[in-house]
Amino acid sequence: MMNDRFIITCYFILICLLISCTNPKKPEEKRDYGPLIEAAFETSLNFNSSGIGRPSGVFVEVPKDFWAQEIKDENPIRVYAHNNNIALVLVETERTEQGLYIYVVFSSYIPQNDDEITYTTIIEDTVYNFIRKK
């Protein structure tokens, strides 16, 4: 009987220690992408009005002079215009570029996965994570 209590007490202490030593995941914060969506719209308008020509379907680097402040606040490595949409490169590896791809309302191009780029929806038909092969 005394031995059973000891074992139960040891298990209880062990469980308490395990629970206290684990690092629980913090709940993901829901982000308000509204200001960034507006900034992508502004950046796209600024770049389009510059008169800099670009072929359709190609990622074209947008000079920093055309970035809206909210885009600058994201500290992207680079920003691309792609069929009037805006792509922010936030992570770059030897083989890929990764970041946010923002659909601009006057664009007729909704992103689609292919061999070179993968999109994952964050907000349906508006904001995507993307991974692009170099």
At 4 the pLDDT is 58
Assigned domain for 21 exists: no
Is the pTM higher than 0.85? The answer reads: no
At 54 the pLDDT is 84
Residuewise pLDDT in 10s, the chain (134 residues): 555 555 555 444 545 444 544 444 444 457 899 999 999 999 999 999 998 888 888 999 999 999 999 999 999 999 999 999 999 999 999 999 999 999 999 988 989 999 999 999 999 889 999 999 99
Containing structural domain, residue 120: 34-133
Assigned domain for 13 exists: no
Assigned domain for 122 exists: yes
User: Residue 112: which of 79, 82, 77, 92 has the closest Cα?
Assistant: 82
Q: How many domains does the chain have?
A: 1
Between CA 62 and CA 60 the distance in angstroms is 6
Assigned domain for 127 exists: yes
DSSP string, the chain: -HHHHHHHHHHHHHHHHHHHHS-PPPPPPPP--HHHHHHHHHHHHHHHTTT----TTS-EEPPGGG--HHHHHT--SEEEEETTEEEEEEEE-SSEEEEEEE--TT--------SSEEEEEEETTTEEEEEEE-
